[in-house]
Amino acid sequence: MNFKNRAYAKRQTGLSYIGSINSSAKLIKNKKVSNNYTYVIYLAPAELSGYNVCPFSTPECRGGCLHTSGRVKVETFANMNTIQKARIKKTQLFFEHREFFMQWIIAEMTAYKKKAENDGYAFSARLNGTSDIRWEDIQIDGKTLFEIFPDVQFYDYTKHPNRMLALLPDNYHLTFSYTGRNEPVSKRILKNGKNVAVIFNVKKGQPLPATWNGFEVIDGDLTDYRPLDGEGVVVGLRWKDIADRQKNKTIKESRFVVQV
């Protein structure tokens, strides 16, 4: 497959886009709170597409993944799954036609970056909306996206401990994700001045605990933009309900979610 432009790519694949900006309620907070237009890519998580994009996923995080919340949750109740099918197709495109996929991302980011600048906003990118790909290792024509867009702030969450210890590009910020199964490594990461995201069983609008294991908890729901969180803090997130009500109850009461 050869990439010519975005319109041609849409006709070739039947996909409307690879990534988009301000595409969820939390990312809209980036615009309002952090003055950022954030470009995000949502792929099919874990091995849903036939390819594993979440090598450190756990049963709980796979069951409680944001892949089944938000608009996808609404579609599930309406017996539709067009969003999930599109995400599977994008993921397969990433693995099977990598250069085409990357060129499409570059075209989208270039256009959205320009739009952000014209609208008076900063521009950031979250490539792993529902995946944990080591983008620092992905290149096109010998360059990573961080090198192609050196003035863009990238950020992501990860469950991969080695990514937190690696030397990352200056414009890439990572937050480690607590799973209930990785508490020792989460504590070590916090002691090393890096941040860890922890999900608490706290309802929307209710306060998060002040500390977790002796580390300060900040409210991660105020904005999704993580690069300004500081160092060595717990990014507290409130549990977001998923479509499957029985699974929702089971996971909410599991080790994946810290009970308050």
Question: Quick one: three-class SS letters along the chain?
Answer: CCCCCHHHHHHHHCCCCCEEECCCHHHHHHHHHCCEEEEEECCCCCCCCCCCCCCCCCHHHHHCCHHHCCHHHHHHHCCCCHHHHHHHHHHHHHHHCHHHHHHHHHHHHHHHHHHHHHHCCEEEEECCCCCCCCHHHCCECCECHHHHCCCCEEEEEECCHHHHHCCCCCCEEEEEECCCCCHHHHHHHHHCCCCEEEEECCCCCCCCCCEECCEEEEECCCCCCHHHCCCCCEEEEECCCCCCHHHHHHHHCCCCCECC
> What predicted TM-score, i.e. pTM, was given to this entire model?
0.92
Q: What are residue 215's DSSP bridge partners?
A: 212
Distance in angstroms (rounded) separating the CA atoms of residues 231 and 192: 9
Both tokens of 192, joined, read 């090393």
Assess if residue 257 is contained within a domain. no
Tally of domains in the chain: 1
For residue 244, being part of any structural domain is answered with yes
pLDDT tens sequence for the chain (260 residues): 999 999 999 999 999 999 999 888 889 999 999 999 999 999 999 999 999 999 999 999 988 786 554 444 444 444 448 999 999 999 999 999 999 999 999 999 999 999 999 999 999 999 999 999 999 999 999 999 999 999 999 999 999 999 998 999 999 999 999 999 999 999 999 999 999 999 999 999 999 999 999 999 999 999 999 999 999 999 999 999 888 889 999 999 999 999 99
Q: Is residue 215 part of a domain?
A: yes
In a domain, 117, yes or no: yes
Query: Does the residue 260 lie in any domain?
Result: no
Residue 231 lies in a domain: yes
Instruction: Flag whether 1 is in a domain.
Output: no
Tokens of 202: 């706290």
pLDDT in tens, 178-235: 999 999 999 999 999 999 999 999 999 999 999 999 999 999 999 999 999 999 999 9
Residue 84 lies in a domain: yes
**Contact by Cβ (8 Å): 196, 189:** yes
What is the reported pLDDT for 126?
Answer: 98
Domain of 173 in residue numbering reads as 6-252
